[in-house]
């Protein structure tokens, strides 16, 4: 867990008190334990978390060191919040808010389907969302409602590349083809979309998907092309429909505010500045990876189709599915006492500002 090792006499009676008693100019060393459920081949790990740690260590001249663990080596996925709270780790990299909609209901907003977007658009919009001072309800912002109210300090990370429909040996040309599909659904929002379009969905961890598709358990998955190589799916998927953007998975760099407040202010500033400088670089890593994977897949005979490649009935069904998913998500959150509509409108506006597009019915939401 978090520790302060000071060159002078520093009392070790508690993290926050100890750090407060150490000046920014002292020779104390801060050792932070960072846990990640990501594989070391994951784009988040390579493109954001590792460069961020390296940058912080360099800028602090060795005053900060990270003990980092990947591949769920220290903490299993979805147990990061408890590990933060009980002091087993200092940083969750990431905190999987999308997998925990009961605690973080508003964070699902980045998974709402769009007509057009890319990793950079979504990443910039997400960065603005986390920093936004827009009040959603009771005078609270998104960050306050989701994170600081739970005693968490968070930074935005790059979003993943857009989710699309990828299958093994099954093409999509008509509305009837859509309704015959059986797809692995990674989030609750994908399940809502699948139900609205008529696609059968199956919930399953991504680590089990390779074997399940190969044995014919289902046809494919809502998945990001940039993440294929992290799970070996470049060996499985040979058809991908990119005609609609089925959301961007987002996670959070997270630490308890108690631990954050125990760190000297000059180091806090370095950590935060390094994070936001790395975000667009991390997004570009995802985009470059997606392009490389797509090029290699096409060379091996894989097919990538756009909206104009399917018939008009299928296009109408997909657009209607996007609209219905937004409305259903809003109504569910509002029914649970959450500012679903205000959250959806804020996300829509941030995406539009960065160059994304949504159906006309979503543009008309007020």
Residue 154 is predicted with a pLDDT of: 97
Q: pLDDT tens digit string along 63-81?
A: 999 999 999 999 999 899 9
In the numeric block, the tokens 């936001």 are attached to 276
* Three-class DSSP labels, 295-340: HHHHHCCCEEECHHHCCHHHHHHHHHHHHHHHHHHHHHHHHCCCCH
Q: Is the pLDDT of residue 314 over 70?
A: yes
pLDDT band at 304; cut points 50, 70, 90: very high
Region 117-143 average pLDDT? 96
At 227 the three-state DSSP class reads helix
Q: pLDDT tens digit string along 3-21?
A: 443 333 333 333 333 333 3
pLDDT band at 127; cut points 50, 70, 90: very high
34 located within any domain: yes
Residue 15 is predicted with a pLDDT of: 38
20 located within any domain: no
> Could you tell me what percent of the chain has a pLDDT over 70?
93
166 located within any domain: yes
Average pLDDT score, the chain: 91
322 located within any domain: yes
Which domain CATH number covers 311? 3.40.190.170
What is the span of the domain harbouring residue 324? 30-364
pLDDT band at 230; cut points 50, 70, 90: confident
Indicate the burial class of 245 (C-beta count within 10 angstroms; 0-12, 13-18, 19 or more): buried
Residue 27 is predicted with a pLDDT of: 66
**Total structural domains in the chain?**
1
22 located within any domain: no
Q: Helix (H) and strand (E) counts for the chain? A: 15, 12
Of 107-111, 206-210, 353-357, give the lowest mean pLDDT range: 206-210
Write phi, then psi, for 255 (nearest 5 degrees).
Answer: -150, 155
In the numeric block, the tokens 């959150």 are attached to 333
CA-based nearest residue to 349, from 103, 192, 136, 139? 136
326 located within any domain: yes
18 located within any domain: no
68 located within any domain: yes
């Amino acid at each position: 867990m978090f520790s302060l090792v000071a060159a002078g006499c520093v009392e070790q009676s508690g993290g926050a008190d100890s750090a407060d008693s150490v000046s920014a100019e002292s020779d104390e060393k801060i050792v932070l334990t960072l846990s990640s459920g990501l594989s070391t081949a994951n784009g988040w790990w390579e493109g954001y978390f590792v460069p961020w740690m390296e940058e912080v260590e360099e800028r602090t001249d060795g005053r900060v060191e990270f003990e980092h663990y990947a591949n769920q080596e220290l903490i299993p996925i979805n147990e990061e919040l408890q590990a933060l709270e009980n002091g087993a780790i200092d940083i969750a990299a990431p905190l999987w808010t999308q997998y925990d909609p009961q605690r973080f209901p508003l964070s699902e907003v980045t998974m709402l389907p769009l007509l057009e977007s890319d990793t950079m658009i979504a990443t910039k919009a997400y960065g603005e969302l986390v920093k936004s001072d827009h009040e959603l309800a009771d005078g609270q912002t998104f960050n306050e409602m989701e994170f600081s109210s739970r005693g968490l300090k968070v930074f935005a990370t790059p979003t993943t590349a857009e989710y699309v429909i990828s299958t093994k040996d099954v093409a999509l040309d008509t509305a009837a083809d859509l309704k015959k599909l059986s797809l692995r659904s990674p989030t609750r929002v994908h399940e809502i979309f699948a139900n609205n379009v008529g696609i059968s969905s199956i919930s399953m961890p991504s680590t089990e998907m390779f074997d399940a598709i190969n044995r014919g358990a289902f046809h494919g998955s809502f998945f990001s092309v940039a993440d294929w190589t992290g799970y070996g799916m470049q060996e499985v998927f040979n058809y991908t429909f990119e005609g609609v953007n089925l959301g961007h998975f987002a996670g959070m760099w997270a630490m308890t505010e108690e631990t954050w407040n125990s760190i000297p202010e000059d180091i806090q500033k370095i950590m935060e500045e390094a994070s936001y400088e790395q975000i667009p670089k991390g997004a570009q890593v995802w985009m470059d990876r997606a392009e490389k994977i797509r090029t290699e897949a096409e060379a091996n005979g894989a097919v990538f189709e756009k909206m104009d490649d399917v018939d008009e009935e299928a296009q109408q069904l997909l657009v209607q599915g996007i609209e219905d998913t937004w409305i259903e998500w809003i109504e569910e959150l509002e029914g649970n006492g959450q500012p679903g509509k205000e959250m959806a409108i804020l996300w829509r506006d941030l995406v539009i500002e960065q160059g994304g597009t949504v159906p006309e019915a979503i543009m008309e939401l007020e």
